[in-house]
A and B are shown apart, each in its own frame.
Chain A
Amino acid sequence: MSAAGELLAPSAIDGTGFTVRRAARSSGWLLGFAAALVVLLAFMPALVSHGDTSLLVNVFVLLTISTMWNLLAGYAGLVSIGQQAFIGLGAYSVVVAAINGMEPFTVIPVAAVVCGVISIPVAALVFRTRGGYFAIATWVVASAAQLVISSITSIGGGTGHPVPGLSSLAPGEFANISYWSALAVVVVALAATYLLLRSRLGLVLAAVRDNEDAARAAGTRVTLARGVVFVLAAIGCGAAGALLAVTQLQVEPVAAFSVQWSAEIIFVTLIGGMGTIEGPILGTVIYFVLQQNLAQHGAWYLIIVGTVAVAVAIWFPRGLWGTVTRRLRFEFFPVRYQVVGPRPQDSGSPT
């Protein structure tokens, strides 16, 4: 425990002149830049059309769920193909709450928490499996959740259900609130991920990722750490699903629980670079640039997406951001520790 505490500050390795430190100084400025970007994004509805803000809502939703999957697969070693279970359950939590007279936008955090609670028994079951089995088990859970929801006729059964209680908002007002809600969800998701990875739990996750046996031997509670990440990812995906329900005014089980979500998440995260916070951000941007420019070509667009996936997997196995950050030793969101060599002038006088 104390070792973890000491590592949080730059520390010298005795007698070598090398130091272990986390953030490069420039990253502090870049974090400030990120904050400025969030403020700018908050003023977007005044600057661009409602069509553009509704596109940005979709960007934020995809970025949120990809960030959650990145936490699962990139840090906790949990390759899930079933996060759509929580997207769908988040969406349906909003429907149920709205049917009972609650205000849909304010229910988004509640829906997220509901998904977190549901994920605990799910974790108890799927954590019995590892690796490929885990991936398939999560996919089956998502498919089962879809079939159960589809069989409940009071929330629309297989055909879906509209989200009531939104007709009182003027169209412009609705678009703005949708946008700000989505921005809030994605900012909270990214900030929580950043803080989590800088916390002691983040240190445990990094140890597990690098060498699980050594981490267990050192006494870290690996399964507990994984469980916490699984629940947090469910909360994030639930919030994203709730957002989708509210902004699209309609929930439909096949679309909400579609394995297509997992396909997009995997594409975005692995293209951008798994195991980095920046990776899913870059991946989401690439995905939407491809979509905006090529979607009118129908099947050809998806053929190109598939080809990009294969090419990046073979030639850039760390993803695009992973390749950049390895070359430049640079991080927007500094969560790793680096060993920094001694400078000639201060060798022999460790600070």
Chain B
Amino acid sequence: MTWFNAILQGILLGGFYALFACGLSLLFGVMGIINLAHGDFAVIAGYVAVVLVPSTHLPMVLGFLVVVPIFALGGYILQRTLFQSALNRGDPLTILLVTFGLSIITENSLLQAFSANGQSINIGSLIADSINPNNVISISDISLVVLIVAVVVLGTLQLVLSRTSIGRMIRAVADDREAAELVGINHRHVFGIAAAIALATVALAGLASGMITEFAPSTGTSNLLFAFEAVVIGGIGSLWGTLVGGIVLGVAQQIGAQINPAYQILAGHVVFLAVLAVRSRGLFAVREAA
């Protein structure tokens, strides 16, 4: 039963990783951006919530109503200015250096403004509530909520991408930017919208991390590596793949931790490398880009 519990906890953790990873997957899949500042953006979301939400008299749990629109707008502006200038240079390393610079700037600005102390988003009694079907298994309510949010967000995104006209445009520019331009799509605007969606999801991930555990200016980087692992295990271009990738990683880590707490992260890495060795494009990779 303890093993069953480990798998269950892994699935819950995987939901969080998937939520974290889906914005990364979108930026990577659509614009080819390896966003090294993704983890730091999530940390900013936590601080924005801590600073702004109390003044709106909303309960903290509803903080996303404030933070997500700010991040979506910020994502659009960031893409249309800085990221687009970097993409215009035509060298993938330019955007890597830009996001790397943003990561350093963000982390140290937060350090300057809020100190290195950990913070969390106070959601009152919800943090302690859990479902206990027996004395071994304990499902924390907030983790379950995060998993559900991740499934809903990824499902909605999948629907938007496959069924709506903006989704078709995003897929079109991701596949072939020049051809999309020829049929009259403004790829810069579409990139902006994709970035807005990506930043909206990273805001949710940042809030989730602030509710489940603590965050500090330096927590971005470790979450970033797990999110990258989830994206690569799942395969670029497949959002359901990202969800499965997150869950595979989460389960691997929890089973590793069950064997020996020191092996938690290592077990995740081993599974990641094993997936690469067997299927180097991830479990659910969409057909090879032409």
Contact = CB atoms under 8 A, between A and B. Distances in A.
Interface of A: 73, 79, 125-126, 128-129, 131-133, 135-137, 139-141, 143-144, 147-148, 150-151, 259, 263, 266-267, 270, 274, 299-300, 302-303, 305-310, 312-314, 317
A76 to B, nearest CB: 13
B102 A306 contact: yes
A146 to B, nearest CB: 9
Given A312-B97, A314-B82, A131 B92 contact: yes
B100 interface: yes
B104 to A, nearest CB: 3
Nearest to A150: B262
Main secondary structure of the interface of B (DSSP, over half): helix
B94 A132 contact: no
Given A139-B228, A317-B89, A306 B265 contact: no
Interface in B243-274: 262-263, 265-266, 269-270, 272-273
A299 B82 contact: no
A151 B265 CA distance: 12
A3 B254 CA distance: 57
B105 A310 contact: yes
Contacts of B93: 73, 79, 270, 274
B110 to A, nearest CB: 9
B225 interface: yes
A149 B32 CA distance: 34
B56 interface: no
A147 B86 contact: no
Contacts of A139: 225, 228
A137 B282 CA distance: 12
Given A128-B277, A259-B221, A317 B266 contact: no
Classify chain B's interface size: 35 or more
B79 interface: no
Contact of A314 (B98, B236, B280): B98
Interface string B102-144: 1111011101100000000000000000000000000000000
Contacts of B108: 299-300, 302-303, 306
B97 A128 contact: no
A145 B111 CA distance: 29
A310 B82 contact: yes
Contacts of B91: 317
A102 B80 CA distance: 58
Nearest to A144: B269
Contacts of A128: 276-277, 280
27 contacts: A73-B93, A125-B273, A129-B280, A133-B232, A133-B280, A137-B276, A140-B269, A143-B225, A144-B266, A147-B262, A147-B266, A263-B100, A263-B104, A274-B93, A299-B109, A299-B112, A300-B112, A302-B105, A303-B109, A305-B101, A306-B100, A306-B104, A308-B101, A310-B82, A310-B98, A312-B97, A317-B89
Contact of A270 (B82, B97, B112): B97
Main secondary structure of the interface of A (DSSP, over half): helix
B141 to A, nearest CB: 31
Given A135-B34, A303-B105, 6 more contacts: A133-B276, A141-B273, A147-B269, A267-B100, A303-B108, A306-B104
A270 B112 CA distance: 26
A136 B38 CA distance: 14
Contacts of A267: 97, 100
A299 B217 CA distance: 11
Contacts of A263: 100, 104
Contacts of A314: 82, 85-86, 89, 94, 98
Contacts of A131: 92
B265 A147 contact: yes
Given A140-B229, A266-B96, A270-B93, A132 B28 contact: yes
Contact of B232 (A136, A141, A147): A136
Interface in B186-234: 221, 225, 228-229, 232
A139 B270 CA distance: 13
A100 B86 CA distance: 51
A310 B193 CA distance: 23
Nearest to A302: B108
Query: Considering the complex of A and B, which 10 residue pairs feature the smallest CB-CB distances, nearest first?
Result: A309-B101, A306-B104, A306-B105, A310-B101, A128-B280, A313-B97, A144-B269, A299-B108, A147-B266, A306-B101
Highest count of chain A CB atoms <10 Å: which of B28, B32, B109, B280: B280
Contacts of B104: 263, 302-303, 305-306, 309
Given A144-B269, A300-B112, A303-B108, A313 B34 contact: no
Contacts of B280: 128-129, 133
Contacts of A303: 104-105, 108-109, 112
B284 to A, nearest CB: 14
A128 B281 CA distance: 9
A144 B101 contact: no
Contacts of B28: 132
A242 to B, nearest CB: 24
Nearest to A122: B273
A144 B92 contact: no
A262 to B, nearest CB: 9
A73 B272 CA distance: 23
